[in-house]
A and B are shown apart, each in its own frame.
Chain A
Amino acid sequence: MKSVAMRAASVFTHPAPPHDFLALFNPLSSARQLRGVVTAVRPETAQSTTIAFRPGNGWSPHDAGQWARIGVEIDGVRQWRSYSLSAPAGSDPEITVTACGKVSAHLAHQTRVGDIFFLAPPQGDFVLPTGPRPLLMLTAGSGITPVMSMIRTLVPKRPDADVVLIHSARDRESTLFEGELAELSEQYDGLHVIHRFTSEDGRIDFSDAADLDALCPDWRSRKTYVCGPSEMLDAAEALWTGANLPDTLTVERFATATYAEVDGATGGTVTFEKSDREVEADGTTPLLEVGEEAGVLMPSGCRMGICRTCLTPLLSGQVRDLRTGEINATEGDLIQTCISAAAGNCHLDV
């Protein structure tokens, strides 16, 4: 019925889709781009803010622990970043943003109720296990956001839940969700929360099992989720591998470690064929950013080499994978522009 009406309406709105005209009344209406409207803004700490939004048609409900791409406009230019959803599964999405860069600072400090977000549906495999298991959550800083969604989803609903959360933050003032976690752990026996303030007690040392044995003696028998800075993730991975338990560890990375030796690598002229743009690029800037800077509509996703939304055919020339330093010169190959830089002149089919 709705699609028949839309098709009829498109006769009158051609060449624009009817959605473009509906957008005159409904800011969430768009044929090309999923949108959401901000419904609440709650400050968490001095640098962190939780933003709730209501997505338009095309959004799929998130699983606890998943992330979504959020686009906002800063000085008229659309900027995309990925954020973990901190709201429990089954409710309207929320993100908790800590100001640390241009986009996150804008989100944390400038967002108002009624603002429009541009969205991509949630994704990610950092999700709860399918069966009941004792869990250990190791988080640091804003790495707690996906885990918060898991705790909010699991703990109040499952009497058999057994979750230990060890969260590191610089100090009490910068600790996210402290009050809510205290309430939850008081109310439910299934949640045990340990705060680690690194300015007082230092960071947890993952180089051997001593720290962890002290904090959570039965860590080896727990399914563990870890989310935080890459050094912490690398160290945790090493520890679990050393303990011969790599399968019980699930890691969520927020940033990609880039290949160290690319500094000083030479770039070249990048030609965006369909968009008819030509720009000089250095050997360290991802082609995604080079294109966006030049006003090319680049497909993009996680911006860290995971989701492959940004795949673009390489028509000719060569590019370097910023994670490995590897050179790719295969014509027609689909390259991930978010982690590839020019290694000489190259032509992209976009």
Chain B
Amino acid sequence: MTLTTEETTTTDVRVALPPTVKRTGVLPTSGAPLERPTAAAHLSDEQVHQLGAELDAIRDEVLAARGADDAAYIRNMIRLARTLDVGGRIALAFSKTRLGWAIGTGSLALGKVLENMEIGHNVLHGQWDWMRDPDIHSTTWEWDFVAPARGWQHTHNDIHHTWTNVLGKDRDVGYNILRVSDEQPWKPRDVFNPVVNFFLAPTFEWGIASYDLEWDMVKAGVKSKEEFNSDLNALKQKAIRQVLKDYIATPAAGLLAGNSFKRGLAGTVAANMIRNVWSHAVIFCGHFPDGVDVFTEEMIDGETRGDWYIRQMLGSANLSGPKVFHILTGNLSHQIEHHCFPDLPSNRYIEVAPRLREVCERYGLPYVTGPLHTQLFQTWRKICQLALPDENKAETLKETFLPKWMRRKTAVATA
């Protein structure tokens, strides 16, 4: 039996792909999953169904209310981001003072933050497709971010949003390089958790670009070599243009005004780093603070529409703050609302949030939210704690890292 299989694999040049399970957009409205998450275990099937219907009604209401004001909102946002971008580059290249450098860098960073988060992320979700404007559409938009939009849409929209926080399904749980939940078994490399995260923050766009290539899927044989190479090529082309723009052309433009190349380069590197650190912080606060659940595959087997909503609510965390803060986070500060309604225009989350919170209270479900500093602290604390094994910390670490002869010695000592 085994022999035959080996025979075929060696003779067949094509890679056999296991069928990818694709969920349809329509989940059943009745029934129940094999197991409900603890936080929702007190709800009856009927209650879960009712909750699903309530959330559907909220969604329909907002969909029907979309109009000219929303269209004006996204257009103004795009205009603002582009003005900041072009203004920032001009200031960087042609100003002579330190203040000019700071203004240029800040303006460019702010432009990039808006472009990636409030515009790019949300346009690529299809939140603005209803306008039928080919200039602002999920199938045509490309963002000022190293990761090509199409690849990101796959890993983010298809995988992460469908399988939110399901262990073994949602690759965003730790992005394959971090341990962010005690449900993930500890591995020796996890001791580097804080270090990895510390270096991931300022290089986030490169981290995401690499993550979207799905190296792990290629290794598992789920993604073909051809697909991988074509994604890699797209990334190369995009990366070359991004590097050329930010790290060569913009600093070089400064030479025209008699500025040094280094001055411009420092500005663009700083702007990208600010954007990277900011988006990393916001995104990590969306799923990893205390009180956010992860799920097992049993919990999604037979999942109904209501259960899906519950999973999105339990698996996400909001950030509190003033309106301008929400815009700067791309309204990912409304992570719960975004996960329940990923295709509603982002400017509408702010009005949906109190309603969703009320629903959660009424059904006795947690609604995790807090200011950025608290959530960020919890996220970092978790990443540091999870660097170590859950039990027998010292023993396991010694087992794993100490050379054999030292291990024996310590064993004797403890005996």
Contacts and interface: CB of A to CB of B under 8 A. Distances in A.
Nearest to A272: B139
Interface stretch (A8-16, A97-105, A245-253): A8-16
B68 A76 contact: yes
A32 B132 contact: no
B129 A295 contact: yes
A24 B80 CA distance: 9
Interface string B122-156: 00001001111111011110111000000000000
A12 B132 contact: no
A78 interface: yes
A75 B126 CA distance: 18
Contacts of A275: 129, 138-139
Given A32-B135, A297-B132, A12 B241 contact: no
Interface string B48-76: 00000000000000000011111110000
Give the contact-size bracket for chain B: 35 or more
A118 to B, nearest CB: 9
A238 B70 CA distance: 51
B135 A33 contact: yes
B355 interface: no
B43 interface: no
Given A33-B134, A297-B137, A12 B250 contact: yes
Given A12-B89, A24-B79, A76-B70, A297 B245 contact: no
Contacts of A15: 142-144, 238, 241
A78 B133 contact: yes
Contacts of A33: 134-135
Contacts of A14: 241-242, 244-245
A274 interface: yes
Contacts of A274: 139
Contact of A11 (B68, B71, B144, B249): B249
A111 interface: no
Interface string A291-306: 0100111000000000
B143 A12 contact: no
Interface string A275-316: 110100000000000001001110000000000000000000
Given A21-B82, A295-B130, A12 B245 contact: yes
Nearest to A274: B139
B16 to A, nearest CB: 23
Nearest to A292: B132
A20 B69 CA distance: 21
A32 B70 contact: no
Contacts of B137: 297
Nearest to A293: B130
A11 B242 CA distance: 9
A297 B129 CA distance: 8
Contact of A297 (B68, B69, B71, B134): B134
A312 B143 CA distance: 27
Chain B CB within 10 A, most for which of A12, A21, A33: A12
Chain B CB within 10 A, most for which of A14, A24, A33, A73: A14
B24 interface: yes
Chain A CB within 10 A, most for which of B24, B245, B253: B245
Interface in A20-58: 20-21, 24, 30, 32-33
B406 interface: no
Given A21-B82, A76-B66, A12 B249 contact: yes
A182 interface: no
Contacts of A216: none
Contacts of A78: 131-133
B81 to A, nearest CB: 10
B132 A75 contact: no
Contacts of A257: none
A255 interface: no
B244 A77 contact: no
Contact of B132 (A11, A24, A295): A295
B396 interface: no
B82 A73 contact: no
Given A276-B158, A297-B134, 7 more contacts: A12-B89, A24-B82, A33-B134, A75-B68, A76-B130, A77-B71, A274-B139
26 contacts: A12-B245, A14-B241, A14-B245, A15-B142, A15-B241, A16-B82, A16-B144, A20-B82, A21-B86, A24-B82, A24-B86, A32-B135, A32-B140, A33-B134, A73-B68, A76-B69, A76-B70, A76-B71, A77-B131, A77-B132, A274-B139, A275-B129, A276-B158, A278-B26, A292-B132, A295-B130
Interface of B: 24-26, 66-72, 79, 82-83, 86, 89, 126, 129-135, 137-140, 142-144, 158, 238, 241-242, 244-245, 249-250, 253
Pairs A-B, 4 closest by C-beta atoms: A76-B71, A295-B129, A15-B142, A78-B132
